[in-house]
């Protein structure tokens, strides 16, 4: 009896256990709000999988993914589903992915104002018929959206989309999109892919595209009568572009200089109205894979491309002087250079055909019997631009008539060298400046240019300003008095400048050697010297030659880099190109930030990078050697890192001819980066946040030791680790969620980016990999999903296949994976700080320390933290000298 009672009790206990601790209930019950919303969705759709039963738990439905009892992912791709989407879809506030492409869904798209966590929307190839004006309102976390091929009623892009700071891809080809391209598109910090082909867009390319991170831009085949039009100059300031498609539109003007587009692969601009010559920066590109320029009005010699593998479509419908490669007639070349000053007007492009300007009906050109151009008459053609100095190359020219146009600028002084010139007519333009002194045999017609002659009292015998007027005597007296005062001021300033220069020369005499050279230390100081005062942003352009100056002359850097030769390009970024240089045997890296392309944002980052690098010094931070800001150039000079970037060694090792990084090398790199960021956060004079930590900003030396670079976005951290609001910056994929959605930044945004880099080191995959299945494109989401749900298979599925790990290495690999997982948690307070990362990585490196590994922190274990800090700061930044000659300023 006792035994039976015990059996009964055991059975009752087991039944109670099974009832109370079923898997579904022990985790968490599905949100009732999500259950209701998913039930509405199932009732609104047809052709659903059989598991979609209203009232049942949606987390068990085919194509639905849940987390903590909330619906996070709906995937019904190519299921033949029909019906419409109910408004209650907006109740799924934890939804991150909505993939409904390639179905038969119809009706209007619903508003989704509560889905701030929604990151990916794929609705292409359905039958939705309208999109509400405020469709994008509230979608703050949106990263990717595709609306291709939807038969929508005419709609416009509204400014609500500008709130999606993390948006990386926007695709709405063939979706009845109307209106101009809104300016905010170029201001979206993460946008890299924009597909708007086969719509009804009109207007011009937004100026905000300059300096943007757009990599692929598809605007081809607009269906509106006006199409997209205007000039395409802005693309010259889009250094990230790899694909540019604008075919079948109405763009005009010349193709701009594309020297900054160092990764351009596809350029398709056929079937437009482009004029001018094909620039050498396009034909010389070695990255170009295909180019299509047929059916424009391009001129000059037939282009010949440097790359033998590029596919070229250019031989139809243009105005090249010859049908095959070869130089044009010299007269044609001169006339085209003249047309360049006017911006290559379409009128001239259509008229100037062939290679004989005197044998055909070239608009405005009259020749003598010997084939020399003697009259150029471009009166009343509405030409803009300036008068080109190249006119002076037409030595037989007798009459130059440019009246009634929109010309600006000054009259080139070189025109006075034309030996046979008899008439210069520039009446009714907007010319200004001094009138050159022409000979008495030249008749000048200058009326209708109110600002012409502002810079001088007389411009020649026929200038209207040489005629007497009733007030001429008073005017002359006033001019003489003004000139006398100005001369006195100039003399006083010259004397003051002379004595000031003498004083500065005496002050800086001790830094000159016998060969009149300057020695500049890394970071401009050594560990025993006093800190240099920070740069004033108001006086960045006013540095003088003083002891420990970091300013380097532009001429020295041009010489060192072969005048910024393409052969010396190491890489490029959002605000410049990095060149390898050699000065007196010293190898340097020169980051060139074009002034005209930078804008205010780029200038701020240039100043910020100098400011930070003068204050921080650590063996794992790239050292700034100097800078130059002359001739509208912005140049930063760094120590040269022979190992290239982590991007190259991790993802492009086959292109470099180097072996892939082994696990031990990756561990050391991770530890080096962790120590660099730990220093910025905790041990520098002030706490800094890098804000743009990524593999391309991690440089390697010849021994594959890592240093963090690119401090243009560094920001001072708030006190007590509090977050603060700031302008969004950085690179998509490495942006922490709270930063991308709210703009709030703390040191934990660097921790998040560091966690992403650890994932890349572990897997060998890029943060965004479009070769993967749609749900696996984003590395962080993929990694965290696999790590959380399939830990048994995690090692096999996630490990970089180039790695060969023994059991001990597999343990450290898993340890780094765990650190990466914790570093990328959604909530900032749940992420570790960088000191924790260093403490976890350092012992892993110690396990296998090779004979050539030198870690200054372990040389003397008894050293205090302060002593270690001083050693960190001084080991690689003691006064190493780079010698530049006396051209330095």
Q: From 325, 146, 317, 187, select the one nearest 247 (Cα to Cα).
A: 317
Query: What mean pLDDT is predicted for residues 209-224?
Result: 93
Cα 543 from Cα 534, distance rounded (Å): 12
pLDDT band at residue 772, thresholds of 50, 70 and 90? confident
Structure tokens at 125: 């190839």
User: What is the predicted pLDDT for the residue at 770?
Assistant: 76
- Which pLDDT score is estimated for 848? 52
Average pLDDT over all residues of the chain: 80
pLDDT band at 442 (very low <50, low <70, confident <90, very high): very high
Q: What Cα–Cα distance (Å) separates residue 301 from each residue in 220, 256, 277, 336?
A: 27, 17, 8, 11
Q: Return the HEC string of 519-578.
A: EEEHHHCCCCCCCCCCCCCCCCCCCCCCCCCCECCHHHHHHHCCCCCHHHEEEEECCEEE
Q: Say which of 148, 692, 710, 750 is annotated catalytic.
A: 692
Least confident of 631-640, 664-673, 726-735: 726-735
For 229-250, the pLDDT digits (tens) are 999 999 999 999 999 999 999 9
Check if 692 is active-site: yes
Name the residue ranges covered by the structural domains of the chain: 26-175, 177-315, 330-466, 472-511, 521-640+854-889, 644-852
CA distance 274 to 251: 6
Same topology for domains 177-315 and 521-640+854-889, yes or no? no
Q: What is the pLDDT of residue 345?
A: 93
How confident is the model at residue 271, as a pLDDT? 96
CATH fold label, 26-175: 3.80.10
Task: Report how far Cα 193 is from the mean position of its chain's Cα atoms.
Answer: 12
Q: From CA 595, how far away is CA 260, in angstroms rounded?
A: 13
What is the model's pLDDT at position 542? 33
| Token code pair at residue 447 | 């009326």
pLDDT over threshold 60, residue 21: no
CB atoms < 10 A from the CB of 188, how many? 24
Q: List the structure tokens of 667.
A: 């561990």
Could you tell me if 230 and 204 are in contact, meaning their C-beta atoms sit under 8 angstroms apart?
yes
56-72: average pLDDT: 94
Distance of CA 671 to the CA centre of its chain: 28
Task: Report the pLDDT averaged over residues 751-771.
Answer: 92
Instruction: Report the pLDDT value the prediction gives residue 503, as an integer from 0 to 100.
Output: 45
Q: Half-sphere exposure of residue 197, counting CA atoms within 13 Å on the CB side? A: 16
Quote the tokens at residue 702: 């010849």
591 labelled ligand-binding: yes
835/573: higher pLDDT: 835
Third-level CATH fold of 644-852 = Transferase(Phosphotransferase); domain 1 (1.10.510)
Residue range 602-654, pLDDT digits in tens: 566 667 667 777 778 889 998 888 888 776 778 888 889 989 999 999 998 88
**What CATH architecture does domain 330-466 belong to?**
Alpha-Beta Horseshoe (3.80)
The answer to whether the CB of 761 falls within 8 A of the CB of 813 is no
Q: What pLDDT was estimated at residue 385? A: 92
CA angle 667, 673, 676 (to 5 degrees): 140
Tens of pLDDT, residue by residue over 89-129, are: 999 999 999 999 999 999 999 999 999 999 999 999 999 99
Q: What is the pLDDT of residues 395-437, one digit of tens each?
A: 999 999 999 999 999 999 999 999 999 999 999 999 999 999 9
Q: What architecture is the 177-315 domain classified under in CATH?
A: Alpha-Beta Horseshoe (3.80)
Residue 700 in this model has a pLDDT that exceeds 60: yes
Give the up-direction half-sphere exposure of residue 23: CA atoms within 13 A in the CB hemisphere.
2
User: In whole angstroms, what is the distance from residue 324 CA to residue 636 CA?
Assistant: 43
The string of pLDDT tens digits covering residues 528-580 is: 333 323 333 333 333 322 223 567 888 888 889 998 888 888 877 655 788 99
Cβ atoms 342, 348 nearer than 8 A: yes
DSSP string, 248-276: SSEEEEEPPP-TT-TT--EEE--SSEEEE
Q: Which of 332, 465, 464 is nearest to 394 (CA)?
A: 332
Fold of 521-640+854-889: Phosphorylase Kinase; domain 1 (3.30.200)
> pLDDT tens digits, residue range 458-515?
333 333 333 333 333 344 444 455 555 556 555 555 545 444 444 444 433 333 333 2
């Amino acid at each position: 009896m006792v035994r039976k009672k015990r059996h009964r009790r055991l059975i009752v206990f087991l039944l109670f256990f099974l009832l109370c601790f079923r898997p579904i209930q022990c985790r968490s019950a599905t949100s009732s709000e999500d259950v209701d919303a998913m039930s509405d969705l199932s009732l609104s759709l047809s052709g659903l999988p059989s598991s979609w039963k209203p009232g049942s738990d949606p987390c068990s439905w085919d194509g639905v993914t849940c987390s903590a009892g909330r619906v996070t992912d709906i995937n019904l791709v190519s299921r033949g589903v029909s019906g419409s989407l109910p408004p209650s879809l907006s109740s799924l506030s934890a939804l991150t992915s909505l993939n409904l492409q390639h179905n038969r869904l119809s009706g209007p798209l619903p508003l989704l104002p509560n889905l701030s966590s929604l990151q990916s929307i794929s609705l292409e190839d359905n039958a939705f018929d309208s999109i509400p004006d405020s469709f994008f309102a509230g979608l703050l976390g949106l990263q990717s959206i595709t609306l291709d091929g939807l038969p929508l009623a005419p709609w416009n892009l509204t400014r609500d989309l500008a709130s999606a700071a993390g948006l990386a891809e926007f695709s709405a080809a063939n979706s009845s999109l109307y209106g101009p391209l809104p300016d905010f598109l170029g201001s979206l910090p993460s946008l890299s892919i924009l597909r708007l082909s086969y719509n009804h867009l009109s207007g011009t390319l937004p100026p905000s595209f300059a300096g943007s991170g757009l990599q692929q831009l598809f605007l081809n085949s607009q269906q509106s009568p006006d199409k997209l039009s205007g000039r395409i100059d802005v693309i010259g300031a889009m250094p990230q572009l790899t694909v540019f498609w604008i075919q079948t539109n109405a763009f005009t003007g010349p193709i701009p200089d594309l020297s900054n587009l160092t990764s351009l692969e596809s350029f398709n601009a056929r079937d437009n109205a482009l004029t001018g010559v094909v620039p050498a920066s396009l034909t010389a590109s070695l990255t170009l894979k295909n180019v299509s320029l047929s059916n424009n009005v391009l001129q000059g010699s037939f282009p010949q491309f440097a790359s033998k593998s590029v596919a070229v479509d250019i031989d139809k419908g243009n105005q090249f002087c010859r049908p095959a490669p070869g130089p044009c007639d010299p007269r044609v070349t001169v006339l085209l250079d003249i047309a360049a000053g006017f911006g290559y007007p379409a009128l001239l492009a259509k008229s100037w055909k062939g290679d004989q300007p005197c044998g055909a009906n070239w608009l405005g050109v009259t020749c003598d019997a010997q084939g020399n151009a003697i009259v150029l008459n471009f009166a009343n053609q509405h030409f803009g631009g300036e008068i080109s100095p190249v006119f002076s190359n037409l030595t037989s020219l007798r009459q130059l008539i440019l009246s009634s146009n929109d010309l600006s600028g000054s009259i080139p002084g070189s025109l006075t060298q034309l030996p046979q010139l008899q008439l210069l007519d520039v009446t009714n333009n907007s010319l200004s400046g001094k009138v050159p002194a022409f000979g008495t045999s030249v008749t000048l017609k200058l009326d209708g240019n109110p600002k012409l002659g502002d810079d001088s009292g007389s411009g020649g015998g026929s200038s209207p300003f040489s005629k007497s007027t009733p007030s001429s005597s008073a005017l002359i007296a006033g001019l003489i008095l003004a000139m006398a005062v100005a001369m006195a001021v100039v003399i006083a300033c010259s004397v003051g400048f002379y004595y000031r220069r003498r004083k500065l020369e005496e002050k800086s005499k001790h830094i000159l050697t016998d060969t009149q050279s300057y020695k500049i230390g890394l970071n401009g100081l050594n560990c025993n010297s006093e800190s240099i005062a920070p740069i004033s942003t108001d006086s960045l352009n006013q540095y003088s030659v003083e002891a420990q100056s970091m300013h380097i002359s532009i001429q020295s850097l041009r010489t060192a880099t072969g005048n910024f030769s393409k052969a010396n390009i190491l890489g490029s970024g959002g605000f410049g190109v990095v060149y390898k240089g050699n000065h007196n045997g010293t190898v340097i890296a020169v980051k060139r930030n074009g002034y005209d392309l930078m804008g205010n944002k780029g200038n701020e980052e240039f100043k910020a990078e100098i400011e930070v690098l003068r204050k921080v010094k650590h063996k794992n931070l790239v050292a700034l050697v100097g800078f130059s800001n002359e001739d509208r150039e912005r140049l930063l000079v760094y120590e040269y890192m022979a190992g290239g970037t982590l991007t190259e060694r991790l993802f492009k090792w086959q292109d470099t001819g180097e072996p892939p990084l082994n696990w031990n090398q990756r561990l050391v790199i991770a530890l080096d980066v962790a120590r660099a960021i730990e220093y910025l956060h905790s041990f520098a004079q002030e706490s800094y946040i890098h804000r743009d930590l990524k593999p391309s900003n991690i440089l390697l030396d010849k021994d594959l030791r890592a240093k963090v670079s690119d401090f243009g976005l560094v920001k001072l951290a708030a006190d007590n680790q509090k977050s603060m609001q700031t302008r969004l910056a950085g690179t998509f994929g490495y942006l922490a969620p709270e930063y991308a959605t709210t703009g709030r930044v703390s040191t934990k945004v660097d921790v998040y980016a560091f966690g992403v880099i650890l994932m890349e080191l572990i897997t060998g995959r890029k943060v965004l990999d479009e070769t993967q299945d749609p749900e696996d494109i984003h590395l962080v989401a993929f990694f965290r999903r696999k790590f959380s749900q399939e830990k048994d298979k995690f090692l096999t599925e996630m490990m970089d296949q180039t790695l060969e790990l023994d059991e001990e290495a597999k343990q450290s690999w898993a340890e780094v994976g765990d650190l990466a997982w914790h570093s990328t948690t959604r909530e900032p307070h749940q992420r570790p700080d960088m000191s924790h990362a260093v403490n976890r990585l350092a012992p892993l490196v110690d396990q296998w320390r090779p004979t050539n590994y030198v870690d200054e922190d372990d040389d003397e274990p008894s050293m205090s933290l302060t002593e270690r800090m001083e050693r960190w700061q001084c080991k690689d930044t003691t006064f190493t000298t780079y010698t530049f000659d006396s051209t330095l300023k």
